[in-house]
């Protein structure tokens, strides 16, 4: 670790010797406290109005400069997820890889880089784990190559990678409009406690949206474009009022997720029967977010669900966005 506030030199060579440097960044997963979804647009996307909440479940990316050119990616053995049978691309299809490639284009003196990702946010779980990896990589490579970009500039790059990436960079609480990329920070610092229940399978976000479109078409329902979020949700978050929040949680994708994975309904029912104030699918699922009265209630609920065979974890939010946790010359 470097002493004081001194930043390591961006130059990888001292004399003829290459000195590697590692910047480690953590970035949070998220839940959608509310998610209203508009109709399918001509461009193939859906407009949304959502309230994002960053929670205390983090991805980590360690970006290490390499003497060889190019970008390589690996998954850390310290990952807490069971990744057997999970297909995580480690090439240019990976969001973290794409983030590093963008930063290399923006930096004057990029080196090669190896990205080691520690996975804790469920893959294809509706919590933006891949987006957190991308946000962490942007910040790590900016520091590694002394690019000197502001958070606002990084956020613009993040938006090129996906709707959830800017929020993982920002963290806290935010309202997302457009396709989720038009973010407005919300003043909601009071802690809310949740229990996340993880599935042993993933759901494809495009499949969930297509299923929602199909359900709406079969019902002949015309859905207006969402233009804002329910102010009661923001007020409940601002006041730290879980009782009020429990009555206004909404996720338009939930019924599509349950159509694809009916067991999710049973998980929500069990959580509410065991003390959760309310339960909902997080984003496109299949992770379930159960709202608890307080941290003690969340811990008790997570333990009880664990005894019943569920993979459950107590978390809280809001938490800060991506941040550097170590910067080391090797």
Catalytic residues: 30, 164
Instruction: Read off the DSSP letter of residue 226.
Output: P
Q: Is 212 exposed, middle or buried (0-12, 13-18, 19+ CB in 10 A)?
A: buried
Instruction: Read off the DSSP letter of residue 297.
Output: H
Residue pointed to by tokens 């978050």: 237
| Residues facing residue 208 across a β-bridge | none
Q: Please report which residue ranges of the chain form alpha helices under DSSP H.
A: 95-106, 129-144, 151-161, 165-170, 205-219, 231-239, 242-246, 254-260, 263-273, 295-307
CA–CA dist 56, 35 (Å, integer):
20
Q: Is 39 exposed, middle or buried (0-12, 13-18, 19+ CB in 10 A)?
A: middle
Radius of gyration of the chain measured on its C-alpha atoms = 20
**Phi, psi angles (nearest 5°) of residue 113:** -150, 140
CA–CA dist 230, 233 (Å, integer):
6
């Amino acid at each position: 670790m470097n002493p004081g506030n001194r930043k390591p030199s961006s130059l990888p060579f001292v004399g003829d010797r290459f000195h590697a440097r590692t910047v480690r960044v953590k970035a949070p997963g998220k839940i959608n406290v509310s998610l209203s979804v508009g109709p399918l647009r001509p461009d193939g996307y859906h407009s949304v109005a959502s309230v994002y909440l960053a929670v205390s479940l983090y991805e980590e990316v360690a970006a290490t400069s390499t003497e060889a050119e190019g970008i390589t990616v690996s998954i850390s053995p310290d990952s807490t997820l069971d990744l057997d049978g999970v297909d995580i691309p480690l090439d240019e299809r990976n969001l973290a890889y794409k983030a590093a490639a963008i930063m290399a284009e923006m930096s004057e003196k990029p080196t090669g880089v190896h990205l080691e990702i520690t996975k804790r946010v469920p893959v294809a779980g509706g919590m933006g784990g891949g987006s957190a990896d991308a946000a962490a990589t942007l910040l790590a490579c900016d520091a590694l190559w002394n690019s000197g970009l502001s958070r606002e500039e990084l956020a613009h790059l993040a938006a090129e990678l996906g709707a959830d990436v800017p929020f993982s960079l920002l963290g806290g609480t935010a309202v997302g409009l457009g396709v989720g990329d038009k973010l407005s920070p919300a003043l909601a610092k009071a802690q809310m406690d949740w229990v996340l229940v993880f599935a042993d399978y993933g759901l494809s976000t495009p499949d969930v949206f297509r299923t929602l479109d199909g359900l709406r078409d079969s019902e002949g329902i015309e859905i207006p474009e969402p233009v804002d979020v329910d102010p009661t949700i923001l007020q409940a978050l601002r006041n730290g009022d879980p009782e009020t929040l429990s009555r206004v949680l909404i996720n338009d994708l939930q019924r599509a997720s349950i159509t694809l994975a009916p067991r999710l309904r049973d998980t929500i029912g069990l959580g509410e029967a065991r003390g959760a104030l309310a339960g909902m699918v997080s984003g496109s699922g299949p992770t379930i977010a159960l709202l608890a009265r307080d941290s003690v209630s969340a811990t008790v609920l997570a333990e009880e669900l664990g005894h019943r065979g569920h993979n459950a974890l107590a978390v809280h939010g809001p938490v800060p966005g991506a941040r550097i946790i170590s910067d080391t010359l090797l």
